[in-house]
Structure 1
Amino acid sequence: MPDQLATSIILAPSGRDTQIASSLLREAGIPSEAVSDLPTLLRTIGDDTAFVVLTEEALHNTDLKPLSEWILQQASWSDMPFLVLTQRGGGAERNPAAGRLSGILGNVSFIERPFHATSFISVAQTAMRGRRRQYEARARIEELREQERRLQTALEGGRLGAWELDLLTYELSTSSICKAIFGRLPDEPFAYPTLQASIHPDDLQGMHEALAATIETGVGFVAEYRVIWPDGSIHWVENRAQLLRNRIGVAVKLVGVSVDFTERRKILEQQRHLNELLEERVAARTAELEAAHEIVLAEAAQRRKAEDQLRQVQKLEAIGQLTGGVAHDFNNLLMVVLGNLELIRKAVTSEARLVRLVDGALQAAKRGASLTQRLLAFARRQDLQVKAVDLRKLVTDMEDLLRRSVGPMIVLDREMPENLPHVLADANQLELALLNLAVNARDAMPDGGSLKIALAEINVAPGDKELSAGRYVLLSVTDNGKGMDEDTLAKAVEPFFSTKELGKGTGLGLSMIHGLALQLGGSFSLESVLGSGTTAQLLIPAVEGDVVQMDMKDSSPVIMPDKQPRRILLVDDDILIAMSSADMVTDLGHDVVEAHSGAEALEILGSDQQFDLLITDYSMPGMNGADLVNAARRLVPDLPVLLASGYADLPAGVQVDAVRLGKPYTQDQLAHEISNALQP
């Protein structure tokens, strides 16, 4: 608290003590307030009181119990200073009453009258300095409480259970989230023996060995084991902790967190099982398929490596979960905006200004949809179509597009040796990444320059901390533009960081490339010198053996939009989305009946009404879209279904026989997918 807010209080009801003390304090720059009696003092004193000046006679024949109770009830940081003016000093041998006051007041200084002004001011300033230290202690306590609150919020947001284990008494302290991870209620006792009893017998020895190693060597405690809940279900729990030692080096405590990764474990086990089956089938094939066999093995090994990396980097996984929800909500909002804008665009064709405004809004909404895809790419939650890709051919095919993108003032050079191995990647995402890097280089060379795209084969030796051993193909993009300083380079890959002016970039381009590289099992790095240019390097694992060429063109038949009026049941719990989608379908010439829940839709289907098509959202409370489709098929077995969702993909394990439609969608896309769903 600033000094100007701290005020001293003077209780000296007789004589000139009040005037003298007030004058001296004012001379020392300390504001003061005089009170007439002890009850008034108790009503006035508070946290903003610097100290209290009392005369010994003001406390004679007075009940000091209220004052004593106030002193005992002070906050932990507070120890109110009292300055007592006496006639006979403060020693118990000369002034027994002063000794009694010392026991009651606690932090007390006695000033014997008559006193020198310098002595009084010195004692007052000492009391003020002591009070300032108390205010500083209060600030530190409040700061610690705020840090503790933030830590607790972070733990709750990440579903991390906090715990502490006293290694001297083996007393276990756990948070409510930690108890929930072990299948216990928040108010249920959970001691260390209970913890041991809940661990699967086959995993108990491993946990003890990890604990012993931590106590002996001080390495971080890491243990994964199965936990048997009281209901008999089995869950996987990962524990991480740090060892704390006392001043003489004795291990006294483990402080850590627990996380339930049962679902992630199930997914990994399913993928391992599928990989094993795939390897068995590949092993049974003939020699003519040996090359394809090697590709599948390489793909499986790369997938396992990506899974291991995802399991270790929990921070990015949490960001990915958050991003998926954010992208879903954005897609739902953009669905309403795009649908309504398209309908408005049709209605205002005669107003040039309104057409221009609506077109601008449509472009902004589509950019928003693109932004959600970039968020998913950064969080490594996008659905990649991984295939063998010839990077040399990919760059060659993009040359015209790259030259148009960078403009005539920039010289484009290529350095691509023959016989480069193929890589396992998503060709579309690689094209987007290369285009992003080229555009960034162009923006760094506003007056022109040179841009070099190079490919090279790199061998990574065993023992590398970031990459698995093996062959990689390096794609580098080098410009001689402005470059970046060290601070900018350190932040370049962070999401939403951009050096471009407002409206010229989202700050997600490099983040997207970084996420793509990690998802593919490679790496992405930047090298830059201010004023000398920048080099971006994308390292992608190579495919061993020969590669079967794949036709990347879409050979699926073209489906013409359905022109025949249909009767359609549209289901969406969001009123705005339902209204917008219904208007779009009605504008296509169809008859629409709306329902805002799965139960309402089933009630309509159970009536005598007949429908040609069911369009339903996936994410709805009570009954999701997949459950609704299964229930609707029991009522109307041959009913075509169009399933819309704002998620990048449906949750693992969800199987539904329906045509998929990703949000946000345009009216043309809606018309196309309606025709697709109605195909016999």
Structure 2
Amino acid sequence: MPNSNNTKALIYAPAGRDAQVAASLIDEAGLSSTAVGDLKLFASSLGDEIAVGVLTEEAVRGGDLKPIAAWVSAQPSWSDLPFIVLTQRGGGPERNPAAARLSEVLANVTFLERPFHATSFISIARTALNGRLRQYEARARLEALSEGERRLQTALAAGRLGAWELELSSMLLSTSATCKAIFGRGVDDDVTRDELIASIHPDDRDLVLASLRRTIDTGRDYSMEHRTVWPDGSLHWTEVHAQLYADRYGSGRKLVGVCSDTTARKAVEENLRRLNENLEERVRERTGEVNAAHQTLIEEVAQRERAEEQLRQSQKMEAIGQLTGGVAHDFNNLLMVVLGNLELLGKYLAGDAKATRLVDGAVQGARRGAALTQRLLAFARQQDLQVKPVDLAELVSGMNDLLRRSVGSSVSIEAILPATLPPALVDANQLELALLNLVVNARDAMPDGGTLSISLREEKVVGDKGDLGEGAYLVLAVTDSGTGMDAETLKKAVDPFFSTKELGKGTGLGLSMIHGLAVQLNGALLLTSEPGVGTTAELWLPATEQRPEHPAETGLPVPQAASRLKILLVDDDALIAMSSVDMLEDLGHQVAEANSGLQALELIRSGQHFDMMITDYSMPGMTGAQLAQAVRAIHPALPIVLATGYADLPAGADIDLPRLGKPYNQAQLAKEITKVMAGERAPIPRSGSGASASRSRLSKSDDRCDEIGDGACVV
């Protein structure tokens, strides 16, 4: 990307010493320059690397400006090249038609009347340069977003999902190559909305059209599986999901969705159905001979069907989890670059109210994206957990005030918390978030008020119990007296992105996040519900004989701010490395950058002194953990921080290093540096610390809701 070191000004001022004077003043503004001798050469020299163009009005008067005008109009969307035009006294655009014509041709032009003071020219040149550099930054962000879109398309292709969009005003349909293939069309075929509707099996067509109309009218998500007839006459099954996107006035603007070919799955289901029918027929033929043992050829068949269904569900969730976790990790990296650069950009826009507002809006959007990726990582079981023995009775008691504020005065809370239960092996912070989600869900299920019960009990599991291994468990249960769920809704409750709330009121990741947390803790989430009676959510968490740690009640000493340090930053992603270096240098540190583990080792072995090293974990050739082990062999006392968006490191990567979770901002980066340089090797254990610790973790419900995004405290 061009920057102030490789950009230049282009000058066309053929009369006298004008070009020499302009070049000298531009040099004082911190920019190199090139002077050309004629207008044609000036036009052909324009390009992305030109930061500003300088012209004298009398030199271009009467000249052919068409090549320049053509270049200006053909600039990409991010580019708006600034021009400076030097005019004679009284030759400004207000009084000079020729100058006004230049304004129309050049678009982004500043007129400077001669004679002028040198500082005026330098100020205008610097303003033009700063504006051009911001354009380069906008281009970099557009390229980063384009790369993110490419990765998303790769993920869709890997999952064999076709993408489509339907503009409701024009009924114009856009389809991906995979989507066309799912409907039996070629890559180069033009497919219209009417053609796809016509390809739906006649017995399914009315149902599909009615469901589409309901989605457009109500905003509810579209989900349908139907038969499709290909142009060659063959019959296929297609599963389609879509969401309605509305304009600012709430009117439906377009439908955006994905589709997949489920023909193979339907064939398997049909084979299973026929097998079951055959088995049932055999049972009916031998009804007269059936006894208690026979009643037992039937229970085995039912058990096998349940096992097959559980296997299919498990495989589906695992595949979605792997795809979701990978995409979320990649977006974590992109969001970190965006957040870091926006944070630094905001500092340089102080005083510009409009630009500050735009930056703040972009930051809020990026933070929502970061919160969404954290929930996706939780569902994919890739979040980083701090598992310790925790007294669950103390944890729940410490959240009492927070939970009562969260449910409001119309809901009463009953707690059954025996004091003699053993601790559980959990991450206290994540468990608090899960409990808060369950309580808020229960509140929303009781719009007219009711009773909410929170209880703890110990259970023993003997033998194989599905998702739960043998051993002792603590069961944290949340029961409400609300609307409840029917069997079909309950079956889908923990599926990612499934929500019974209206569009925009929930992400559908609350229960799937809690389910992912429970599984990652070697436990389970069990749901029971009945319409009109209420719902019970049980978190089964492994018990332990270890005792909780109780830190001293005295406050922790506040570490002193780190002084100016020389830091080695290692990251194979150039955008992330650039953003992190900018944040560190803005904090006052001296930074050396390496883009691989081998390059970092070369800098260490060269004898350069470093006060600490910050390294990414996932790098080709040599991981951050392998790099840390090699560096420890050379400098055992060098502080090292491992930055990663993954939760669980692979086998063999067991190394005691402080973690810095991606995406991180400048404040988090500064805090981690201060902690490490102060000698704090790991966070002070907070689990099992009683009510005071819980209050410090969750001071009010809005704080925790803000961490996971608007409306995301509910499912």
TM-score, L = length of structure 1: 0.49
Larger radius of gyration: 1
Higher relative contact order, structure no. (Cα contacts within 8 Å, ≥ 6 residues apart): 2
